[in-house]
Chain A
C-alpha cells in the first residue's frame, strides 16, 4: 500500500524567505510523485511531478522538488516566497499505472508580509 506523510500541517514564512514543505512517502513499487496546490475556493492543480529520469523537477511559479529514493522524500522548495503562494499544498503518490493517486494530509502555507 502507498501512503504519504507531510511534516507540519501549517508553515509560515516571511515574504522573500525560503519555502520548504516536507513530504515522505511509502511505496512498494517505484513511485510517481506529485505536488498539488489548492488556492482558496479553487480546485487542486498540479504544481509538478516526478515519474522517471531527472530527480530534480521544476514546476510552475518557481517551485521545485527533489526525489530522494534513499530518504523516501520529495520535499518542495521555492527560493523566495511571494504573498500569492499562500495556499494548501498536497503531496501525492501513485504507481506507474496511476490508477489511484494517494494524497497526503496537506500543509497550509502562510506568507507574512
Chain B
C-alpha cells in the first residue's frame, strides 16, 4: 500500500501523559500536513511542512504540541501533558508541490482519547 500511513490508529491515555503520533506520507510527496478533527466538525489545520521545513503553525497548536519532519520524509506529532480537550482524531495528509494543485491525500487518522 503506497498511501498515507498513520500510527497508532487509536491511543488511549491518561491526562498529563505525553503521546506521539507518526505519519508516513506518500514517498514522493514533499508537503505534509497535520489536521485535527473533532466529532461533527471539519478538519482544522494545525501545521504543514515543505520537505523538512515547518512553514506554518496554527494558533490551535499550543506550546504543548510539537511536530517534526526531520529528514523530509515521515513526521511526528507530539502532545505533552495531554488534556481532555486534546481528545480528537489527528489527521495527516500529504501532497506534491508542483503536482495537482491542492489535492491532499489523507491517512485514516490517529484517534486520541484522553481520560
Interface residues on B, range: 20 to 34
What does the 1/0 interface line of B30-43 toward A look like (CB < 8 Å)? 00010100001111
Smallest CB-CB separation from B9: which chain A residue?
A41
Complex: how many Å from CA A51 to CA B99?
13
Smallest CB-CB separation from A52: which chain B residue?
B101
Cβ-Cβ contact count across A and B, 8 Å cutoff: 60
Query: Is the CB–CB distance between A106 and B108 below 8 Å?
Result: no
A95 to chain B, nearest CB (A): 9
* A-B interface, 3 closest residue pairs, ranked by CB to CB distance from nearest: A103-B42, A43-B106, A98-B102
Interface residues on A, range: 20 to 34
Query: Is the CB–CB distance between B95 and A43 below 8 Å?
Result: no
Interface residues of A (CB under 8 A from B): 4, 9, 32, 34, 36, 41-46, 49, 51, 90, 92, 94, 96, 98-106
